[in-house]
Chain A
Amino acid sequence: AQSVAQPEDQVNVAEGNPLTVKCTYSVSGNPYLFWYVQYPNRGLQFLLKYITGDNLVKGSYGFEAEFNKSQTSFHLKKPSALVSDSALYFCAVRDLIKAAGNKLTFGGGTRVLVKP
């Protein structure tokens, strides 16, 4: 079975400060890991993914995430947050071998609030 945990329901950060959204995962095999962002009344937008290779993945809008196999984590980071980064963020995992049909398992989501 595959699972994802986002331990923080909400993250508050001041504009210009670093932003980190935490994600840990559990899979039987090797993971595919994803981050999505959801703005109000919108669908999910793909930010970045890790499949293999470099543990630091760069994505859209200045976001990056670091894959840490020993800690089974894939935290999302942005060096300098913007007010427009305020949204819901979802981490997702897919077991490379065992998840049929490209099925993803999503975390519960983290609400990010960036204050001016």
Chain B
Amino acid sequence: EADIYQTPRYLVIGTGKKITLECSQTMGHDKMYWYQQDPGMELHLIHYSYGVNSTEKGDLSSESTVSRIRTEHFPLTLESARPSHTSQYLCASSATGRSTDTQYFGPGTRLTVL
């Protein structure tokens, strides 16, 4: 198992609430990623970061925001949750370099917005 952690693992919350999904890794990886996984399985990249103070939008537009103040920490925030945000969110990290570019994933957060 990779040393990448996500909390909470499961979250059920009402519409309009602000939520933050936590992701931390202890591997010293410079790059981190957030993916959204549909009920139909497909993964979509929603945010990524090259390093501290670097964040980029991914391939799928998302109303969430991210920050990267510390190398090991890459939280994702939804200011006002909606039922359309119900999904599984997966965090991953990787290190720069040809032999270390494998992305390692956390266990995921399953979010349900009522």
Contact = CB atoms under 8 A, between A and B. Distances in A.
Interface stretch (B14-22, B63-71, B78-86, B102-110): B102-110
Nearest to A43: B105
A102 B95 CA distance: 9
- Classify the interface of chain A: helix, strand, loop or mixed: strand
B107 A43 contact: yes
Interface residues of A, number: 22
Contact of A101 (B31, B99, B102, B110): B31
Given A90-B43, A108-B41, A109-B42, A46 B56 contact: no
B24 interface: no
Q: Which size class do B's interface residues fall under?
A: 20 to 34
A12 B23 CA distance: 35
Contacts, number: 58
Contact of A44 (B90, B96, B110): B90
A84 interface: no
A94 B110 contact: no
Contact of A43 (B31, B40, B45, B108): B108
A51 B31 CA distance: 19
Contact of B103 (A51, A104, A109): A104
A32 B110 CA distance: 29
Given A34-B102, A44-B90, A109-B43, 6 more contacts: A41-B108, A42-B108, A43-B90, A43-B106, A101-B50, A102-B103
Interface of A: 32, 34, 36, 41-46, 49, 51, 88, 90, 94, 101-104, 106, 108-109, 111
For the complex of A and B, the 7 pairs showing the least CB-CB separation, nearest first, are A43-B105, A109-B41, A44-B105, A106-B43, A43-B107, A43-B108, A108-B42
